[in-house]
Amino acid sequence: MICLSRLNKIQGSGMTVNQPIGIFDSGIGGLTVAAAIGRLLPQEQLIYFGDTAHVPYGDKSVELIGSYAERITEFLLHEQKCKAIVIACNTASAAAYSLLRDRYKGSVPVINVIDPMIEAVIADDDIKSVGIIATKTTIASGTYQEKFSRRKPQLLFHPLATPLLASMIEEGFYNDNISSAVLEEYLSYEPFKSIDGLVLACTHYPLIKKEINHFFNQKLLFDSAEVVASKLKKILEAESLISLERKNTNRFYVSDFTQSFEHSTKIFFGKQVNLELMNLWK
Ligand code: DGL
C-alpha cells in the first residue's frame, strides 16, 4: 500500500509527485537526454526548453550562459512548477551548475549531465586512458579534467574541443560526407590513438555515435543520456518524488522556432514533437 504522505510531498520543499520534470538545453540536443528519461520514467510529465534563440552555447562566456540558465530555470520552476531540473547540456552544466545548485539547494533537485558521466567512466576499471570531446566552453572550463584528476588521479585523459560538431548536427548534417570529413579531422587527434574510451561530452553527440564508433571500433563510447536518466530516477526515489500515474502531456518549448528544428526533433527524441515558441527574453 502506498503511504498518502508519499503521494503528496517532498521532504521539506513543498514539491509533489505530480509536478513535471524540467529539462533544458541550448537547443534540441538535450532531447537525447529527455528521450532517455521518458523511456526510464514513462509516467513522468516532461517540460523541455530548448534555447534555440541562443544556440550554440559552446562558444559563449560562462557569465552569459549562466544568465540564460537562470532565466530558463525560473521559467521551469515558477511558471511550469517543475519538481526537478535537469541541465541536459554539458556546456550549461560546466558553466552554470554550481550557480543553480547553490541558489536552489534544499528546494529543488538540480541534476547536471557531467557528474553521472564522470561516475560511469571512473567505475570502469578497463578505462585507463580516456578522450573527451566537447564544445569549446566545456573544455575551457576544465570541469571534466578537474573532476577526473580529483576522483581518479591515475586516469589519463585527453580533452579536445570539437566546436563544429554541435552546429553541424543542429543543422542536420550527420551520417553524410560532411559529418564524416569533420569527424575524420577531429578524431585523428594523435592522443586519441591510445585511449580505451571516449566521453561524448555534449548532448548533441549521441546523434553521431554510430559514426564515431566507425572511427573508434572496439573503444567504449560514453554518452550522457542513459546515465543521467538513471541518476534522476535515483534522486526522485530518494526524495519520494516519483510520479505514480502515467501522464501524456509532455511539453516542448523553444525560444526561437524554425521548421528545421521541428523536423530534427524526431531524430533526437525518437518521435515527432510539437514545438511551442516561448520567448523568455522579450
Ligand atoms: N548540447 C550542448 C552540450 O551538451 C552543446 C551545444 C551548444 O554548443 O550549444 O554541451
Q: Is 139 in the pocket of ligand 1 (CB under 6 A)?
A: no
Contact 247, 44 (CB under 8 A): yes
Cα(27) to ligand 1 centroid in Å equals 7
Q: How many domains does the chain have?
A: 2
Q: Are residues 245 and 209 in the same domain?
A: no
82 annotated active-site: no
Integer CA distances (angstroms), 240 to 16, 224, 230, 233, in order: 9, 24, 15, 10
How confident is the model at residue 97, as a pLDDT?
Answer: 98
How confident is the model at residue 248, as a pLDDT?
Answer: 66
Query: Which stretches of the chain score pLDDT less than 50?
Result: 1-11
Percent of the chain residues topping a pLDDT of 70: 95
Q: Are residues 61 and 89 in the same domain?
A: yes
Q: Are residues 125 and 214 in the same domain?
A: yes
pLDDT digits 0-9 by tens, 24-66: 999 989 999 999 999 999 999 999 999 999 999 999 999 999 9
Cα(83) to ligand 1 centroid in Å equals 24
CATH number at residue 249: 3.40.50.1860
How confident is the model at residue 5, as a pLDDT?
Answer: 38
Q: Is 93 in the pocket of ligand 1 (CB under 6 A)?
A: no
Rounded to a whole number of angstroms, the distance between the first and last alpha carbons of the chain is 48
Q: Are residues 142 and 190 in the same domain?
A: yes
How confident is the model at residue 3, as a pLDDT?
Answer: 38
Write down the H helix ranges in 4-142: 4-8, 31-40, 62-74, 90-104, 114-122, 136-141
Ligand 1 pocket: which of 64, 135, 169, 199 to mutate (most atoms within 8 A of CB): 135
How confident is the model at residue 219, as a pLDDT?
Answer: 82
Q: Are residues 80 and 138 in the same domain?
A: no
Q: Are residues 266 and 174 in the same domain?
A: no
Q: For the whole model, what pTM was predicted?
A: 0.92
How confident is the model at residue 13, as a pLDDT?
Answer: 64
Contact 118, 146 (CB under 8 A): no
What range does the domain containing 108 cover? 4-112+227-277
Q: Are residues 48 and 183 in the same domain?
A: no
Q: Are residues 173 and 241 in the same domain?
A: no
Residue 63 main-chain phi, psi, to 5 deg: -65, -45
Please say whether the dihedral angle defined by the alpha carbons of residues 30, 32, 33 and 38, taken in this order, is positive or negative: positive
How confident is the model at residue 75, as a pLDDT?
Answer: 98
